[in-house]
Amino acid sequence: MDFMLTEEQRLVVANARRVARDCLEPRAAHYDESASHPVESWRDVWEHGLLAMAVPREHGGLGLDMLTYVMVIEALAQGCANTAMTVHMHSVVQRYIDALASPAQKAALYPEVVEEGRLFGSWGSEPGRRGGSGVVQTIISPTGGGYVINGQKHFCTMAGGAHRYMVHCTVDGGQGSGGVLMAMTPHDAAGLRITGEWNTLGMRGTVSPSVSFEECRVDRSAVLGRPGLAERVGVGQGFGLGYAAVYLGAAARALEFTIDHSKTHRYAPDPDFLCHSLVVQRAVAEMSLALEGARMVLYGAASRWNDKSDPISRAILAARAKYLATDVALMVTSKALQVGGGRVAHKRYPLERLYRDVRTCTLMPPNADRSLEIVGKSELGLDDELLMLRHSS
């Protein structure tokens, strides 16, 4: 497939690479160690015009197509996977607003991103749901001109750091996907309480603890669209596509480090640099070719991501890209450590952090088994079972 970009698109991707190298990577270790929000990195992303990349142009954003978008996320992840992941989650919310919000809501919400550099989170995961599947048990009920939200969420990315959170709810009395409703909940809403800690193997800078809602009140204007519509617009499937871009960006940085390290280090009694070793050459070739293949599948999926794509088709495209990106990123980061040896496991190098981040974020739904299930059902023509998968999500 032809993935040629226009000059304007190339400039956007080049901008993301500069931001990743000059702004994000120097802080990545600090956010990992402190398990804190990458606030300064978010500010840099905003000041360089990338926080609004999924905001439509008519509202002051870049309105990026999906191919350019995943390239930008991939580039940012080479600097800091945590920043890239949070910016991706925020950007998917912007696409939900575009698909579901009224003109008045867009006029109120988009300036917060474009002009003020505010971030929006998306909270869908719950303790009782496996990998995002199952009925949304956080209930939203109409009351006195607004709504109240009751329930629990976990893996609440950017909790305490974002300005608004798009909370995935079920309307009181609603059934399955037909009752799902998104509520743009302010960070300081009464009844919203962070209840868990965030002390994990990797992706520590995404700060995703548990959150509870107890009679949490939101205005009527906070609700996006009507019940069930969010499940039919095909936006949510974009989560998996962006996850794949984050994985490949982190893996690409691991490969880049391995290449640079092997060209500048030698160990006695071998007089040559590591790059002259056939073992290292083979490993680098395996990593490079695997990355190239997974990247082509991701870019192909993004190129076919258009306004006419239905949610099932998008789910298949995302599952293909996410599965391969997961497999390749795990292999590349692991092999990079093996090639470099025990010395590169030290925290003064980025490899151990990249390895931990990849091992952690590749667990995000749909996980590898679920992705294979989606692709397998598609290849076998089990359309009815694919529809059942959609309605169980």
pTM of the model: 0.96
What integer pLDDT is reported at residue 290 of this predicted model? 98
Please tell me if the domain spanning 7-119 has the same topology as the one spanning 238-391.
no
What integer pLDDT is reported at residue 133 of this predicted model? 63
The CATH topology of domain 7-119 is Butyryl-Coa Dehydrogenase, subunit A; domain 1 (1.10.540)
Superfamily of domain 122-226: Butyryl-CoA Dehydrogenase, subunit A, domain 2 (2.40.110.10)
Q: Is 1 helix (H, G, I), strand (E, B) or coil?
A: coil
CATH label, 238-391, candidates 3.40.50.2300, 1.20.140.10, 2.40.30.10, 3.90.550.10: 1.20.140.10
Domain ranges in the chain? 7-119, 122-226, 238-391
CA–CA separation, 26 and 41 (whole Å): 10
What integer pLDDT is reported at residue 131 of this predicted model? 64
Q: What is the dihedral of CA 32, 34, 40, 42, to 10 degrees?
A: 50
What integer pLDDT is reported at residue 388 of this predicted model? 74
Could you tell me which of 1, 151, 5, 129 has the C-alpha nearest to residue 67?
Answer: 5
DSSP string, 166-208: EEEEEETT--GGGGEEEEEEETT-TTEEE-S----SS-GGG--
What integer pLDDT is reported at residue 393 of this predicted model? 46
pLDDT, block means (10 residues), the chain with 393 residues: 87 98 98 98 98 98 98 98 98 98 98 98 89 80 94 97 98 89 97 95 98 97 96 95 98 98 93 96 98 97 87 95 98 97 94 98 94 96 82 50
